[in-house]
């Protein structure tokens, strides 16, 4: 992994952007393809930092985290929920590692990052009713990956923000939300609600559920 160009301490960030969307909206430019490129870098750099990587790698990771936190204003488009859920979960995983392994991350920068997660990522990830920004959030079992992605992200957001209410909200959705709780996502014979679509989406929803469980387990919650 260290040979990957994304893991270079000299990596040049493609961004940050004020607006990020997975589809064309006309009024708010930006594609998650541009934003996604550096986000796995957070995991690669921060995940290796203790103890394998240099301070320069850690500083590059912080530069990317801080850059997005100080610039991003809106996630929009018809699948803003996926944007917030899938990429927000990556962000907080990386940020959680950096927060507790690299003391040079300034308190003010951490607070700015927390604000971005709380104010920009959490609302679309947790949305269950339509709005002008997100016009068809997860509301039925045919969109299981949307619901399981939201649950995964919300649990992770709650952990990073030390917000017990948010954390419990994500777990409650995992257990009880019609769009993507256990009983609706996997039926009584073990078939996933996305199985009739394709294997990629089936595996995505299962992976989301596994990550939710792993995050809860890491918090000592095995219920």
Q: What is the pLDDT of residue 11?
A: 72
Q: What is the pLDDT of residue 2?
A: 60
Name the token pair of 33. Answer: 């393809």
164 against 36, higher pLDDT = 164
DSSP reduced 3-state for 108: helix
pLDDT over 90, % of the chain: 29
Calculate mean pLDDT across residues 34-55. Answer: 54
User: For residue 164, is pLDDT > 90?
Assistant: yes
User: For residue 178, is pLDDT > 60?
Assistant: yes
**How many of the other CB atoms lie within 10 Å of CB of 168?**
14
Residues 32, 21: contact at Cβ < 8 Å? yes
Name the token pair of 5. Answer: 């160009």
User: For residue 87, is pLDDT > 80?
Assistant: yes
User: For residue 37, is pLDDT > 50?
Assistant: no
The per-residue pLDDT for range 195-220, each reduced to its tens digit, is 777 777 788 888 888 999 999 999 99
pTM for this structure?
A: 0.84
User: For residue 13, is pLDDT > 60?
Assistant: yes
Q: How confident is residue 175, by pLDDT bands cut at 50, 70 and 90?
A: confident
d(CA 29, CA 26): 7
Calculate mean pLDDT across residues 172-181. Answer: 80
d(CA 28, CA 43): 28
Q: What is the pLDDT of residue 137?
A: 59
135 against 20, higher pLDDT = 20
The per-residue pLDDT for range 107-156, each reduced to its tens digit, is 999 999 999 999 999 998 887 766 666 665 565 555 656 788 889 999 99
């Amino acid at each position: 992994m260290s040979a990957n160009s994304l893991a270079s301490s000299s990596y040049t960030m493609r961004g940050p952007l004020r607006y990020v969307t997975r589809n064309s909206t006309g009024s708010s430019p930006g594609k998650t393809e541009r934003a996604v490129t550096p986000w796995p870098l957070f995991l690669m750099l921060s995940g290796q930092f203790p103890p394998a990587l240099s301070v320069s790698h850690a500083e590059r990771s912080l530069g990317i985290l801080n850059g997005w936190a100080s610039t991003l204003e809106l996630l929009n488009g018809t699948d803003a929920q996926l944007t917030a859920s899938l990429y927000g979960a990556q962000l907080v995983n990386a940020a959680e590692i950096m927060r507790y392994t690299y003391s040079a991350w300034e308190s003010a920068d951490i607070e700015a990052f927390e604000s971005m997660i709380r104010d920009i990522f959490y609302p679309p990830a947790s949305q269950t009713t339509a709005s002008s920004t997100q016009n068809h959030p997860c509301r039925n079992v045919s969109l299981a990956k949307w619901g399981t992605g939201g649950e995964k992200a919300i649990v992770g957001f709650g952990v990073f923000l030390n917000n017990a209410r948010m954390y419990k909200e994500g777990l409650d959705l995992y257990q009880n939300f019609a769009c993507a709780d256990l009983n609706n996502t996997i039926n009584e014979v073990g078939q996933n609600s996305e199985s009739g679509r394709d294997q990629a989406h089936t595996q995505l929803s299962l992976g989301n559920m596994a990550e939710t469980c792993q995050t809860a387990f890491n918090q000592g919650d095995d219920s």
